[in-house]
């Protein structure tokens, strides 16, 4: 058993870490000011300029197949990359990527949606959640009724990431009400110009999702993604791919906050001694270090299973559950170590505090992850103590 990173993985990790320190961390003050003034953390032009710099380093389409111009680094390398990107709250992502389900497009759809998204000239959003269907995704009510060569969509989606900025959406609607749970759901590729609109939802964090409203939006039948009635499986492919990405980013953010807190504890003197000499502070640091390390290896194993072509859903559910809760515990401790300054907006910790609360909700709540893990064990899909072959 060897936990050493391969030389190319070490190079990827160090290159991204250097990029984050050199290009992104210096922008953190600007991002905080922009967000306080109600503006985007990064303007689109800034993001494109940063993505171009990253592309010059070879970081373009990090998980995109080579046939589409990507690097196709694999899940472990992508996980390492997300850990490093998590060390800053600057809202940056490498260019050249597209949602995994867009690869299910037919040839004509790829030219209209997939390829422009990879190149960055189009922007998508994934629209499944509804006001009455969050964790119970199979309970969606948006309807799609066939009318000649078109489908007519009516309904509302909510908490949609990138919904305010996207020019097209991958939206899921019921096309057969008699099909039963998880059946009769179809995915559609719907351009904004076809008539749907978005409304911003203000949250306690920097993430402002959207509500998408569809009122008699007519969609050509050639815009069905995949097969009619098989959209639920498509949706689950998208959700599953995101679950180990969240704890990966959490690891990076918590490592950064740990570094800040260790430095603060060494330098902050109370009653004649630095905070670092106080057992209460030492235990906060020790517990956090253990929890971060545990999350890192649970998450990397989920990515490793994906690279081997094995079913990683159980491991990814554990990574999402443990990592999301770890992040909330650690950020609370790190804010406590910084005392009153941690609570102010002079430091980024309060921002992480607000942002990380949603980790336990989106892309599968804590309760859903526990349900999945317990179900797998009770039904025997996973055996206690069993190792991946």
pLDDT digits (tens, 9 = 90+) for 258-275: 999 999 999 999 999 999
User: Is residue 374 assigned to a domain?
Assistant: yes
pLDDT digits (tens, 9 = 90+) for 103-122: 999 999 999 999 999 999 99
Task: Residue 258: give its domain's CATH number.
Answer: 1.20.140.10
User: Is residue 371 assigned to a domain?
Assistant: yes
Cβ atoms of residues 28 and 98 within 8 Å:
no
Long-range contacts of 290-293 (CB under 8 A, 24+ apart): 291/326, 291/329, 291/330, 292/251, 292/254, 292/255, 292/258, 292/326, 292/330
What would the 3-class secondary structure string for 161-201 be? CCCCCCCEEEEEEECCCCCCCCCCEEEEEEEHHHCCEEEEC
Does 131 lie in the same domain as 91? no
Does 150 lie in the same domain as 179? yes
> Average pLDDT, stretch 141-151?
96
> Average pLDDT, stretch 180-205?
91
Helix (H, G, I), strand (E, B) or coil at 154: strand
The conformation of residue 133, written as its DSSP 8-state character, comes to: B
User: Is residue 388 assigned to a domain?
Assistant: no
pLDDT digits (tens, 9 = 90+) for 193-236: 999 999 999 999 888 899 999 999 999 999 999 999 989 888 88
Cα angle vertex 308, ends 66, 240, to 5°? 80
Query: What is the number of domains present in the chain?
Result: 3
How far, rounded to the nearest angstrom, does the alpha carbon of residue 268 sit from its chain's CA centroid? 35
Task: Residue 167: give its domain's CATH number.
Answer: 2.40.110.10
Find the domain containing 80 and state its range. 7-97
**Per-residue confidence at 389, pLDDT binned at 50, 70, 90?**
low
pLDDT of residue 299: 97
Task: Residue 38: give its domain's CATH number.
Answer: 1.10.540.10
pLDDT of residue 303: 94
């Amino acid at each position: 058993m060897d936990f050493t990173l391969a030389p190319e993985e070490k190079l990827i990790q160090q290159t991204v870490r250097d990029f984050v320190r050199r290009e992104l961390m210096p922008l953190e003050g600007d991002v905080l000011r922009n967000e306080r003034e109600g503006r985007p953390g990064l303007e689109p032009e800034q993001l494109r300029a940063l993505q171009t710099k990253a592309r010059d380093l070879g970081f373009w389409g990090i998980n995109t197949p080579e046939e589409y111009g990507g690097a196709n680094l694999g899940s472990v390398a992508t996980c390492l990359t997300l850990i490093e990107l998590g060390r800053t709250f600057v809202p940056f992502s490498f260019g050249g990527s597209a949602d995994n389900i867009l690869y299910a497009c037919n040839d004509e759809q790829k030219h209209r949606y997939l390829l422009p998204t990879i190149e960055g000239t189009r922007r998508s959003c994934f629209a499944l959640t509804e006001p009455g269907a969050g964790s119970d995704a199979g309970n969606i009510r948006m309807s799609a009724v066939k009318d000649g060569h078109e489908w007519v969509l009516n309904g509302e989606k909510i908490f949609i990431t990138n919904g305010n900025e996207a020019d097209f959406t991958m939206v899921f609607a019921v096309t057969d009400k008699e099909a039963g749970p998880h059946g009769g759901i179809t995915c559609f590729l719907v351009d904004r110009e076809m008539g749907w609109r978005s409304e911003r939802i203000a949250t306690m964090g920097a993430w402002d999702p959207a509500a998408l409203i569809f009122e008699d939006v007519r969609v050509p039948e050639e815009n069905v993604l995949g097969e009619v009635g098989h959209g639920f499986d498509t949706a689950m492919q998208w959700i599953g791919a995101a679950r180990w990405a969240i704890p990966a980013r959490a690891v990076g953010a918590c490592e950064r906050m740990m570094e800040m807190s260790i430095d603060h504890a060494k330098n902050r003197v109370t009653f004649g001694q630095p905070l670092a000499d106080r057992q209460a502070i030492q235990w906060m640091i020790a517990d956090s270090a253990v929890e971060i390390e545990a999350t890192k290896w649970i998450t990397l194993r989920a990515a490793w299973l994906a690279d081997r072509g094995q079913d990683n859903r159980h491991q990814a559910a554990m990574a999402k559950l443990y990592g999301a809760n770890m992040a909330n515990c650690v950020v609370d401790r790190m804010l406590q170590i910084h005392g009153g300054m941690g609570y102010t907006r002079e430091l980024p910790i309060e921002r992480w505090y607000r942002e990380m609360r949603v980790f336990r909700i989106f892309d599968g709540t804590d309760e859903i992850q526990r349900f999945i893990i317990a179900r797998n064990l009770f039904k025997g899909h996973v055996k206690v103590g069993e190792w991946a072959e």
